Amino acid sequence: MKVLATISDMRNVAIVLDLKSATQHFIAARPEFMDLTVRDRAPCRPFGITWTADELLIANNRQIIVFDKQLNYVRMLTVSLQVNTHQLSYHDGVVWAVSPWTNSLIGIPTRSDLTSVNFDLLTHNLRAYFPSEGSEAADQRHFNSLLWTDTQLFVAAHAFGKESLIYSFDAISLCLQNVLGDVGTSIHGVGFANGELFWIDTGGEEIRSNRGLRQRLSRSGYGRGLAMTTDYFIVAISDHLSRQERCTRGSWIQLIDRRTGTLLEEWRLENTGSVNDLRLLDDYDYAHWLLPFWPSRQGA
């Protein structure tokens, strides 16, 4: 299995870790990835990852950066997002970005004849998206993660260290179905398999589910980045650092047996800074619900 993780070291946007050989391949940052108008945040902060059939997309503040199958830089999408954009997901011809500072999802269609939209997660209204500057002060629940399945949209709210929440919407009508509480604090990531919902309780340092799973993470740190196959959880655990220090030190990637909760193996990523998000490139990921970007035999 090959994991793609976005990282914070300011020299690279991401790393590909081969869990079989432990080899690492970096995607280098480019000058155009640096946005010097960003204040109080890193000018290059790669976060969400998703893909279409042919192109890989990575969110970086206001940008969505496009790469080809070989992870070569291709272009930027023309729509400007918001500072502090978080997770990405591709669903039904639209790239969706979680925008904490506007309390919304921003949907960018891959067809040029369609209009970008903004789905307000507080009012549940869908309207045309017009780029405007969001602000940290407007961030009410710190929505950070999303997952589209065939029938539902799940969105996680970190809630600034208070009790986090997971919202579920109908995937077609976007009508609110449920708000799940008692999920822990400062949560990140959403996975869904066989009717069971999973997430990382970052504050509680656990993997949890709505059917009572409470799998303690074996290493203390900042759990952010979740993938899951039929057999495994793959999680990233970053060193606890202040915002100004998150481009320093490193992180861990852990492979955990889903059935037993046993830590099977872990890999240290040195000098990468914090991991912001991760996806599986060559295996089906129930925290992404897309066909793998690479065939299982292909590598970086």
Phi, psi of 96 (to 5 degrees): -105, 135
Q: Contact 215/207 with Cβ under 8 angstroms?
A: yes
Label residues 196-218 b or e (16+ Cβ within 10 Å = b). Answer: ebbbbbbbbbbbbbbeeeebebe
Q: What is the three-class DSSP state of 100?
A: helix
The pair of structure tokens assigned to 12 is 């690279």
What is 2-280's CATH superfamily?
TolB, C-terminal domain (2.120.10.30)
Q: What is the pLDDT of residues 165-177, one digit of tens each?
A: 999 999 999 999 9
Q: Is the pLDDT of residue 299 over 60?
A: no
Residue 41 has pLDDT above 90, yes or no: no
At 226, the amino acid letter reads L
Q: Which residues pair with 278 in a beta bridge?
A: 5
Indicate yes or no: pTM above 0.85: yes
The token pair that represents 262 in the structure block: 């046993």
Q: Which of 115-119, 241-245, 291-295 has the lowest mean pLDDT?
A: 241-245
Q: Specify whether the backbone of 269 is left (phi greater than 0), alpha (psi in -120 to 50) or beta.
A: beta
The per-residue pLDDT for range 242-255, each reduced to its tens digit, is 666 656 578 999 99
Q: How far is CA 193 from the centre of its chain?
A: 18
Mean residue pLDDT across the chain: 94
Amino acid at 120: D
Q: Contact at 8 Å (CB) between 139 and 103?
A: yes
pLDDT above 70 coverage of the chain, percent: 96
Kindly list the domain boundaries of the chain, sorted by start residue.
Answer: 2-280
201 pLDDT higher than 60: yes
